[in-house]
Structures are given as structure tokens and as C-alpha cells.
Structure 1
Amino acid sequence: MCLLVLAWRVLEDCPLLLAANRDELYERPAAPAQFWPEAPQLLAGRDLLAGGTWLGVTRDGRFAAVTNYREARTVTPPPRSRGELARDYLLGGTRASEYVQSLPAHAADYAGFNLLCGDRQSLWWYSNRGGPPRQLAPGIYGLSNDQLDTPWPKVQASKATLAGLCKDGAPPADALLELLQDRRTHPASADPAIGLDTTLAQALSAIFIETPRYGTRCSTVLRISAEARVELVERRHAPKRGESQFRFPLQESRTYPA
């Protein structure tokens, strides 16, 4: 996942609005969003190479998303996949606060990451390149492949668009998906890309990325309403097009009070 923008407790009728693009090599195998057969409480896409997920939500209202952190590659990559971070939270039974507080102890097992995870009570961000876990106050946030709200042009543009959409109440999924289709690029110097040539760096500066081997694989919208209803829409772009829509009421948590 390489771009994510969300409104957390900004709208009374829709406490969570999230729009995200997953950028990845086209050849990396992945399954579309679905309820996992072995864990029917979890709705998420799945990385078929390492078994994790980039974004998901559970029937009791926990949600999580992970992005890579842009930095020079190491000679020996860390042993664990970053997709495990979102998956393990979503499959577990702990509050978001408890989960993120447990991560610094083994953060070095992963390459650089950003993790957003929340439940009905709170939303947290943690990066193993950005200090201790941080609980997020109500507001509009943007996350790409650096610190939360780093002022890269595509982060600023997506936040501004979402803020405008929220002025008239909770925007429909189609409006959020349109936000994620912006193919405008920006000067490479405005969005630093370590170790990349200028042409590729400029391509990566867009909200929606298209290159011959790498780009925006899917766009996802997640909405959780004040009436405790979930809507998730996933629009797939490459290597095969498709769309899935899910709507369901939240269930009471079996592990902690809602």
C-alpha cells in the first residue's frame, strides 16, 4: 500500500472514511479482498507470496493498513514480511492500543513500515522509522511511504480533496475511488525517491502509479458508519481488472467491550 488518506471521527455519521491505493509489482501474486476461509471474521486482500495483507477489516470493527517505508535497500532483507503486521492484528483479539505497544520490541524484524490500526475506540499509527506508537486525534490524515502526513504533493493533494468531499457529509464510495485515480505527477525533487532515476521517481509521485512493471494494483474504500455498518469496495486495476463490494453490520466483539 503506497497511498492512504482517511478521515477519523471528522463526520458524525461516518466515524471512519478511508481511501487507499496499493502499489506493487504486477507479478507479485495476490488474492482480492474476501472473507478468509480459515478466518471468516476477516475481510482483506492477501499477499500470496508471504501470507499477509495490506488492508483489512473485521466483523467486529477492527481495521488495519500497512505501507512500506521508502529507503535504500539493505543487502540482507529483514526476515519477516510487513504484511504480517496488519494480518496479526486483525486475526488477534487485542485492542489497537495494546497491539501497537507490543511492536517496538521486535520492530527490527521488519524492513521500514507504517502501520495504521484501529478499533471502535481508537486509531493508532506506528512506524519503525518514526519513534513510539502514536494515538491519532480526530482529523484528516495522509500516509504514503514516509512519516504520517509527510508533505509530499500526492499526500497533500489527496488530503485536500478528501477534506473538500467531507464538507457535504460522508462522500459515496465512487467519489473516494475517483480521488484515487489522479495520475498527475510532480517534480521528483518534491517527493524524494532514494536510489531511483528521475523518470521513475516522477512516476511514483502520482496518486495513481503506472509503470511497465510496477504500479497501482488496486484501490480500496472503507467506510464505517455511526450506525455500525461497514462498506468496503475494492477496484482492481492490474494485472487483471475487477471490482468487489461488501456491506455488513458490525458484530459485538468477543474479546473486549465495544
Structure 2
Amino acid sequence: MCTITLAWQCFEEAPLILAANRDELLDRPSDPPAVREWGKRVLAPQDREAAGTWIGYNEDGLLVAITNRWTPSRLEGDRSRGLLVRDALGESTADDAMRLVEQDLDERTYEGFNLLVADESSALLAEYDGNRRISTLDPGVHVVVNVGANGRYDIPPQREADGKEQAENANAVRSALHPEPGETGEGWLDRAAAVIADHEYGVCIHRDQFGTRSSSLLYAGEDGLRYRYADGPPCETAFEPVEVPF
């Protein structure tokens, strides 16, 4: 499971704030965030195995992030989902990025995914399980996990127990991260960092060969982007600032 929490247009001083955990096989190698030349200058970690990424922010203010999506039957993808994220980060706006995703899905197939694109004026979610569903997100707090987003979940029959637990965890995270009266964007992000590290919410995972491998905190505000990254599970790994060159 991966978890994306997004506060979009909730705070006047920062229209785009995100806290996200990446869950992956423990032996799958990756590199921490750095500047990549992917059509645009992009700040993103990179998967060494397939050369894509699971999250990134580009010089034009576009955020793209992805989770796997559990499906009733296994989908045979033509291509790594992380490369689709990388391609989308070469666009200038969220609307352009989603158009690219839709065009790509006309030509290729992927394993299931939930892909989020957002900038200061638009936020969209693509859910793909062999068919696609594109949603325009309203201002507010959004939580995306492997079975869906924002209380709308599709739980595969073969993973019913795990899927129901994941949906409950996502609902609990979203409820906990409802903005409080007078709260600032920075205050919300501090709370989000604590929630995605708290085992009570079930989104920081530790298993024998699989678990939460890293965590990202992004704050896109009036003074630009601030990015903090934990290169390990956030319950035991400190968030370190990432240099932002644009």
C-alpha cells in the first residue's frame, strides 16, 4: 500500500501541500530526490529498477504522484507505471499532464494505478484498473490508497479483508487531517507527518520483505517549494530538507 494525503486549496498561503508514504519491496533499490532533466527540470526520487518515479514536482509547479491499485485480476502492463509519472512531469500544468495520461492509455496498458496531478489551480485523479476514471478534485483534503480515494473504494474480492482495513485506515487519516480552525498550512503538514508515521492509522507498514520505504512532505506556498524526505519509514527515520533549485 502507498498513501497520498493532499491538502489542495485549503490554505491561502500554500495551495498545494502533500504528505505521502511509499510502500515497496525492501530490496528494490531507489535513489533519493534530486533534480532530473525529464522534459522539465524535476525534483524527484528515482526507482533504479525501472528508472521511473512515484512522486515528483517540476519547475512549473506541477505535482504528480502515484499509488498502485488493487484489481480483481492481474493486469499485464506494457510499461512501468513510474515511467508514466515521469512523462507527466514533463508537462506544464495538471490539465496538460492528465491529457498526456489519457492519450497514453489509448495506446498502452499498465498494471492498476491511482495517479494524482495537481498545480495551484487544478487537481485531478486518474484511477485505472483496465478501465479509466478521471475525477476533478474539489478544494479540500484528499487521501488516496490502493483501493481508491476519498471514501470511494473498489475492494477486490480476493483481498476483501485487507481492502476493508485499508479503506478504514484511509477514512481515519482523512478524518484526522481535516483542517482545524485557524490552522496554518505548515501546522497541517506537521500533523500530516505525524499521522502517516503513527501505526494507529495503519499507513506506516513493516513486514518481512515489504514495507514503507520512504516518505515525502511537500509544501508549495507563496515563497516556493519546500520538500522534506525520509529515506526510510517515517516512524523511525527523520525527515531531512531537500535542496530545491527552482
Deviation at 1:147, TM superposition (A): 2.1
Residues 166, 41 of structure 1: alpha-carbon distance in 2 compared, 3 angstrom cutoff: farther
Normalising by structure 2, report the TM-score.
0.81
Paired position in structure 2 for 1:42: 42
2:48 and 2:240 map into 1 onto residues whose CA distance is: 18
1:175 to 191, 213, 231: 191
Aligned to 1:14: 14
Q: 2:58 maps to what in 1?
A: 58
In structure 2, the residue matched to 1:254 is none
Kindly provide the CA deviation profile for residues 33-74 of structure 1, in whole angstroms up to 9, marking residues without a partner as x. 122267782111101000111111112211100000013563
Give the gaps of 5 or more residues in structure 1.
186-205, 251-258
Q: Which one-letter code corresponds to 2:211 in the other structure?
A: G
Give, in angstroms, the shift of residue 140 of structure 1.
1.0
SS at match of 2:149: coil
Structure 2 unpaired stretches of 5+: 153-166
Instruction: Report the more deviating stretch, 54-63 or 150-159.
Output: 150-159
**2:230 aligned to 214, 217, 235, which one?**
235
1:175 & 1:2 partners in 2: Cα distance? 18
| TM-score normalised per structure 1 | 0.78
SS of the residue corresponding to residue 16 of structure 1 reads strand
Q: Percent identity?
A: 29
The RMSD of aligned alpha carbons is 2.6
Structure 1 stretch 149-158 or stretch 34-43: which is displaced more?
34-43
Q: C-alpha distance in 1, partners of 2:27/2:76?
A: 20
Quote the Cα distance in structure 2 between the aligned partners of 1:139 and 1:19.
14
Three-state SS of the structure 1 residue aligned to 2:142 is strand
Aligned length: 226
Instruction: Determine if contact 2:38/2:87 at 8 Å carries over to the other structure.
Output: no
Tell me if structure 1 keeps the 8 A contact 2:204–2:212: yes
What amino acid maps onto 1:66 in structure 2? I
| Distance apart, 1:167 and its partner CA | 4.8
CA distance in structure 2 between the partners assigned to 1:223 and 1:104 by the alignment: 27
